[in-house]
Amino acid sequence: MERSLSVGGVSSSMSFRGFLHALQEAGHLEEVDRPVSPSLEAAALSVGAGPLLFNNVDGKKCCMNLLGTRDLLARALGIPREDMAKALAEIDLAGGWIREVDSSPFMEAVGEPDLTALPILTHFRGDGGPYITSGIVVSAFGGKTNASVHRMMVLGKDRVAARLVPGRHTSMLLQEALAAGERLPVGIVIGVDPLVLIAASTRVPLGMEFQYASALSGSPVELVALDNGVFVPSAEIAFEGYIDGERASEGPFVDITGTRDFPRMEPVIHLSKMMTREVPIYHALLPSGGEHKMLMGVPYEPLIFRAASEVAEVKNVLLTEGGCSYLHAAVQIKKRSEAEPGKVIDAAFEAHKSLKHVIVVDEDVDIYSPEELEYAVATRVKGDEDMVLYPNVRGSTLDPRSVDGITTKVGIDATMTLGEEEKFLRVRPVLPEGRTF
């Protein structure tokens, strides 16, 4: 059975265009018909906006902010916002499957690669160049595959420099290919089913991204083989190419914290073929914007939920907005022993190694409310007993306070002392029996 999306009472097939159509029918998609420049202007207009469809970015179509809020992400998943972490933690990868097909909509126009034909955005002054920000890189080598989102800086018509974090799956496959004296074949897709984009943004076992997308949707993910043997999903735009030993300077780039990630020497992806729909819609993510945070940060919440559930009864997990939806986690538990919060903190740091600060709270604290989280710290924390420091540990290179990724992590137990709950429970006014306001 094919999954459908319901947004404001409107259902639509969950293809990329189906998602756009559902947003449009529900009045959530704003269309901009006037000419908009891909250099700085489109990005600036997207700040603080809802889903946008620019119909004339140098004569091309470009959309932004499609998954830019928790509500939009929840609608795409078909899960209530407050239940996302728990529901995603319970997804069974074995329930997903793929289907190989012979054609895809992106085969409507096939030719030589020409990145200048697409409305690829330059987002901020000082950027290293125009950046592809929603591209999924699918790679295959030695019987293993991977699909993940990588930022890609345009170097020319048929070359991009891609940020490949060492130790992660694409980088691992590249190192295996180079060690064997071979190139790593890749496919790149832009403008995909939102659940495929979410899956490619999630840490799952090697080669399981499309199965995960299928498990999320309850329907198979259709894949088509490129000439280089890489299988890719349906998309607005697709490229065939390879990565060899060439490297180029990539950056600066504004990352999830809203601060600059400075240049590094990164692998170059060489493009050999470009395939698009007849009139493709380019999908751009605003760096450090809501969509970036939803896709890069939120997928860690179920990982933390699952890990922390091994040591406590977890009710919910949130990567907080003030922590860039990446560096700070709030974990809500039903506390059963005084040792549990410390174990939960350790589990959270293990599940999300870039995490910097973790706060553990009781069931009565609304983790979606910054005021409630601060209240828990104010009334339930004794600094010398309820805070744990982890100095000189590996954190995130995106944290500007870290030194080469080395930082100090802090865990905060902001739960009530067992047996003394009456001291901590908030007293709220109630109307006398039989009276109404």
**pLDDT, block means (10 residues), the chain with 437 residues:** 35 72 94 98 97 98 97 93 95 89 94 98 98 98 96 98 95 98 98 96 93 93 97 98 98 96 97 98 97 95 98 98 97 98 98 98 97 98 96 94 95 96 88 76
Tokens 């600059």 correspond to what residue? Answer: 260
CATH code that applies to domain 4-294: 2.30.110.10
| Domain ranges for the chain | 4-294, 299-417
Task: Give the per-residue pLDDT at 437.
Answer: 65
- Beta pairing, strands 10-13 & 30-32: unpaired
| Catalytic residue (choose from 127, 158, 255, 386) | 255
Q: Which fold has domain 299-417?
A: UbiD C-terminal domain-like (3.40.1670)
CB 6 within 8 A of CB 13: no
Task: Give the per-residue pLDDT at 93.
Answer: 86
Active site residue 255: yes
Task: Give the per-residue pLDDT at 429.
Answer: 87
Task: Check if 4-294 and 299-417 are the same fold.
Answer: no
**Cis previous bond, 252, omega within 30:** yes
Among 396, 382, 437, smallest CA distance to 300 is for: 396
Token pair for residue 253? 């780039």
Task: Give the per-residue pLDDT at 430.
Answer: 85
Number of neighbours of residue 426 by Cβ within 10 angstroms: 8
